[in-house]
Amino acid sequence: MSITLSIIYLISTITFVIGLKLLGHPETAKKGNSIAAFGMGLAIIGTIFLNNLEVPIFIYILIIVAILIGSVIGWLIAIKVEMTKMPELVSLFNGFGGASAALIGIVEYGNNQADITQVTTIIAAIIIGSITFSGSMIAWAKLNGSLKKDIRLPKYNLINNLLLIALIVFGFFIVNGSINGEIIIYILLLFSLIYGILFVIPIGGADMPVVISLLNSLTGIAAAITGILYDNMVMMVGGILVGSAGLILTFAMCKAMNRSLSNVIFGAFGGDSVAAKKGSTIGGHIKKTNPSDVAVLMNYADKVVIVPGYGLAVAQAQHVIHELEELLTKKGVEVSYAIHPVAGRMPGHMNVLLAESNVSYDKLIEMDDINPQFKNTDVVLVVGANDVVNPAAHNDPSSPIYGMPILEVEDARSIIINKRSMNPGYAGIQNELFFNQKTSMLFGDAKETLTKLVQELKNM
């Protein structure tokens, strides 16, 4: 490797670290993303033109054409994707990263069978990459509604564990040379893909944010393994950063849900479990309200807290909610947003959604900081959120979300919940908050209903 290429790789590595650091705050995230992307572009250019590889010019042409095609596709997706589809897009990106690692392993297997270290990394890349790809495709199907029902085979945990052990043992025999041949690699690929499907398919929709983060981590690990295979520092560092960041985020979300990672993976929470069905029998009387009455309540409030959820994203109502916030602020009302760590369908979903409508970052308050403030809050407006405000997490030991930290909106003086219907949330359980004496249900599409609410406030 030339000195120039080594320097380029070092610069790229530094940009990755700086970019990741800046991604830790919404205000600097865009800048961090640009810096890391610049570093990756620099590394790609250096790898192509400074490696002194004796390959036909036709290969360089193919590489450049592939990069151009991928860049155009990525750009078109980025400008057209809706915020509600962002979790699905992340799942697809995770899957493609895993698929590339698996394909690299298959291609390189025939050229490195004599080197046990190389064979080990190749087998690991194939197994992890394949699991990530098929698992991400299932996660994508669950998120976009193509796969609505959680499928659980009898003794699925036992089947999954036995298959994983079989994959590890099979890979070990390939590494030590007990079995070999091109067909063996494709058999390993096939069963790794099957395991990825079986691994994700029983996990309920409520756990999809954790699953996405975990699969993202596996993609990073797969990238780091291919970096070891090619002795490429940038691939190794980039993969390690993605893998470690993904794991940290995964454990942080598990903590926010008061559950262990093993419970998420093996518990299959959030679907048609007995506990979920039992939790859905909650009932009682509800109070309905309308935009006019809510406008009066908010107009004379001193403090209003807005709780955004996935329903807000679906209705594309982030701009209207920002207009509501600005209108209330002009009237002298203190307004803030309560952000739960696992609100939405992916980590940070609500932060990105509200940033899109230019909501000030200072108004986004995390769960631990906002919970003590609810007792002094006049009105809480819950828009599209469900499980993250469900008091069953504190009150009902039989509930599948029992023990999960929630936004304690029930402590506020008045609670307004905007939903289309009384349907349960993503966890499949009914919300006790709907029947609270302080709660009024504001039924309707979030964008249409909030627009009416804004108009009512303007007329006051």
Same domain for 261 and 299, yes or no, is no
Candidates 288, 289, 292; CA nearest to 454 is 292
| 406, 296 contact by CB (below 8 A) | no
pLDDT for residue 280? 45
Which domain does 76 fall in, by range?
Answer: 1-80
Instruction: Show Cβ contacts of residue 78 under 8 Å, excluding neighbours closer than 6 positions.
Output: none
Q: Which of 24, 46, 80 is the last residue of a domain?
A: 80
pLDDT for residue 206? 62
Choice between 447 and 403, residue whose per-residue pLDDT is larger: 447
pLDDT tens string 29-71: 889 999 999 999 999 988 888 877 677 888 888 989 999 999 9
Long-range contacts, stretch 190-193, CB < 8 angstroms, 24+ apart: 191/163, 191/166, 191/167, 192/102, 192/126, 192/127, 192/129, 192/130, 192/131, 192/134, 192/167, 193/130, 193/131, 193/133, 193/134
Same domain for 438 and 451, yes or no, is yes
Mean pLDDT of 100-119: 83
pLDDT tens string 338-376: 998 877 767 677 888 888 788 888 899 989 899 999 999
Same domain for 118 and 139, yes or no, is yes
Instruction: Show Cβ contacts of residue 335 under 8 Å, excluding neighbours closer than 6 positions.
Output: 303, 304, 305, 306, 325, 328, 329, 363
| 347, 213 contact by CB (below 8 A) | yes
Q: Which of 80, 104, 138 is the last residue of a domain?
A: 80
Domain count, the chain: 3
Same domain for 436 and 366, yes or no, is yes
For residue 201, pLDDT over 80 is answered with yes
For residue 275, pLDDT over 50 is answered with no
For residue 441, pLDDT over 90 is answered with yes
Same domain for 92 and 71, yes or no, is no
For residue 276, pLDDT over 80 is answered with no
pLDDT for residue 150? 61
Mean pLDDT of 115-135: 91
Q: Point out the residues that are catalytic.
A: 387
**Percentage of the chain modeled with pLDDT above 70:** 89
pLDDT for residue 289? 93
Q: Which of 80, 97, 124 is the last residue of a domain?
A: 80
Same domain for 135 and 186, yes or no, is yes
Mean pLDDT of 405-410: 91
- Stated as kind and residue range, the H or E segment containing 380 is strand 379-383
CA angle 67, 68, 70 (to 5 degrees): 65
pLDDT for residue 381? 96
pLDDT for residue 271? 44
Strand order in the sheet with 379-383: 364-366, 334-339, 303-308, 379-383, 414-419, 439-443
* CA–CA dist 414, 305 (Å, integer): 11
For residue 272, pLDDT over 60 is answered with no
CA distance to 123, 185, 311, 333, 364, per residue, from 172 (Å): 9, 12, 47, 65, 49
- Look up residue 289 and give its two tokens: 């309200």
For residue 135, pLDDT over 70 is answered with yes
* CA–CA dist 389, 197 (Å, integer): 31
